[in-house]
Chain A
């Protein structure tokens, strides 16, 4: 298995909703990442987990809450989002933290906040 699987592929949520994005990989990668990507912009790093511990939080608002239950799973819990949070949310994994091994990206969750 050489893929990163993200669910759901599309999500529409209201500003008062609570939802979660899920990411799963079975490549034995020990680093996992959440990126946010707006249209026609490069991916922006949100969070990095290394060996299931939060390593980097790029000053992301608390309405985004990451969770890494085990080495294969990464969740992003969403609560009280704003319309400007609408974007493509990408999960990625790598063998180890840092870029040298390259990243494998999931296909993303297209989030629309209404």
Chain B
């Protein structure tokens, strides 16, 4: 089985930094994805972490701690267009599917 938790909603100010957390409990773990999804649109790939540590891609960074079952997505220099849902998804060993968390709706305000 699997249990993936994220905060439901977050609000942050334009230009600021926000961290979106994801905790997971799975029977077997290969890696963790972060996707961005604007309302009514398809999820788009942001990052994939397999090893512990921080992966940086421009304004977005993702961190993983396998021993703690914990990941976060860090968004810097927030822009209004970053208002979206952010989904963490676990690639579980032996499964033929990605297991999605409930998603975090981020609202960026001026």
Contact = CB atoms under 8 A, between A and B. Distances in A.
Interface of A: 4, 31, 33, 40-43, 45, 48, 50, 55-56, 88, 90, 97-100, 102-108, 110
A42 B102 contact: yes
Q: Which 6 A-B pairs have the closest CB atoms?
A: A99-B91, A42-B100, A105-B42, A99-B98, A107-B42, A97-B96
B38 to A, nearest CB: 10
A53 to B, nearest CB: 12
Contact of B42 (A33, A90, A97): A90
Interface string B34-77: 00000011111100100000000000000000000000000000
A99 B31 contact: yes
B42 A98 contact: no
A100 B96 contact: no
B43 A43 contact: yes
B87 A42 contact: yes
A100 B28 CA distance: 13
